[in-house]
């Protein structure tokens, strides 16, 4: 497998072509951003931690029957992934109130949601990733009804698997976002799953162990990521 030209440079990852038309190399960088790129910093070790964290989570999900983009680790900061036709919709599952839900509805942070909520957002930084509904997704052709139903079912499955996994590590999976794409016509979980794209709190203290430490200026961002990884048994 030969790594070739950079195809895309995101806020925290870069995507490279390979000599296999169905495979890409995903590079996790140390760049850390928030508020649609308005706050950006370099955090030492972040790329390596998130790459290994993502590999661990994706392998757990694959074992539970969730098809993922992940193939294998290539180095501390790179992994090989399937080339997906990405769907420009973020699926968000919330088990507790936090973040934009609190701001939108004016409710207190930390309320348990029973059942968990499922939300959709258009992946568009220029528009601030606006909140959308299922009708929007289908009417604008971002996904068809069958694909959307599959995305929702897989999001629910991911929540079941990971809520139990994090709970066993003494953590609450507060909320998370997922992105999906098509691989030879099949809906597959893409992008990454790391503390950058979910909220994790210590069960006992409610200490924040995720990217909110960066957003809110709480400090010790990577130290928190590494603590979560150690609790889960991620080989760093």
Instruction: Please say if the pLDDT value at position 26 is more than 80.
Output: yes
**The residue count for the chain:** 236
pLDDT tens digits along 131-144:
999 999 999 999 99
Mean pLDDT along residues 120-147: 97
**pLDDT at residue 166 in the model:** 98
Q: How far apart are CA 228 and CA 201, in angstroms?
A: 10
| Global pTM value | 0.96
Domains of the chain and CATH, by start? 3-82 (3.30.200.20), 85-220 (3.30.470.20)
Mean pLDDT of 31-49: 89
Residue 199: band (very low, low, confident or very high) from pLDDT cuts 50, 70, 90? very high
| Residues 158-197 pLDDT 10s | 999 999 999 999 999 999 999 999 999 999 999 999 999 9
Per-residue confidence (pLDDT) for residue 25, from 0 to 100: 98
Residue pair 171/228 in contact by the 8 Å Cβ criterion? yes
DSSP assignment letter at 125: G
Print burial letters for 14-43: b (CB count within 10 Å at least 16), e (below 16).
Answer: bebbbeeeeebbbbbbbbbbbeeeeeeeeb
Report the chain's mean pLDDT, rounded to a whole number.
Answer: 97
Buried b (16+ CB within 10 A) or exposed e, 166-196: beebebbbbbbbbbbbebeeebbbbbbbbbb
CA-based diameter of the chain, in Å? 51
- Output the pLDDT for position 1: 81
What is the model's pLDDT at position 39?
85
Mean pLDDT, residues 97-109: 97
Residue 38, pLDDT above cutoff 90: no
Q: How confident is the model at residue 81 (pLDDT cuts 50, 70, 90)?
A: very high
State the Cα–Cα distance between residues 41 and 219, nearest whole angstrom: 12
How far, in Å, CA of 124 to CA of 197, rounded?
16
CB hemisphere CA count around 189 (13 angstroms)? 28
Is pLDDT at 40 greater than 90 in this prediction? Answer: no
* Sequence-separated (6 or more) residues with CB below 8 Å from residue 69: 58, 81, 82, 84, 181, 183, 188, 189, 190, 191
Please list, in sequence order, all residues whose beta carbon lies within 8 angstroms of the beta carbon of residue 164, skipping any fewer than 6 positions away: none
Tokens of 97: 């109130």
The verdict on whether omega for the bond into residue 115 sits within 30 degrees of 0, i.e. cis, is yes
């Amino acid at each position: 497998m030969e790594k070739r030209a950079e195809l895309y440079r995101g806020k925290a990852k870069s995507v490279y072509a390979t000599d296999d038309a169905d495979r890409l190399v995903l590079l996790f960088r140390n760049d850390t951003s928030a508020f649609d790129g308005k706050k950006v910093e370099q955090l030492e070790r972040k790329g390596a931690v998130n790459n290994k964290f993502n590999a661990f989570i994706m392998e757990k999900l694959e074992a539970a029957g969730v098809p993922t983009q992940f193939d294998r680790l290539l180095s501390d900061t790179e992994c090989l992934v399937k080339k997906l036709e990405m769907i420009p919709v973020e699926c968000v599952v919330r088990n507790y109130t936090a973040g934009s839900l609190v701001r939108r509805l004016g409710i207190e942070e930390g309320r348990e949601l029973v059942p968990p909520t499922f939300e959709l957002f258009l992946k568009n930084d220029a528009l601030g990733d606006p909140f959308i509904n299922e009708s929007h997704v289908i009417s604008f052709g971002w996904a068809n009804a069958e694909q959307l139903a599959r995305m929702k079912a897989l999001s629910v499955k991911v929540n079941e698997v990971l809520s139990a996994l994090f709970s066993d590590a003494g953590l609450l999976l507060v909320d998370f976002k997922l992105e999906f794409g098509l691989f030879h016509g099949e809906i597959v979980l893409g992008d990454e799953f790391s503390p950058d794209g979910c909220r994790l709190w210590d069960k006992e203290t409610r200490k924040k162990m995720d990217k909110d430490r960066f957003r809110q200026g709480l400090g010790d961002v990577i130290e928190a990521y590494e603590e979560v990884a150690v609790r889960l048994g991620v080989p760093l």
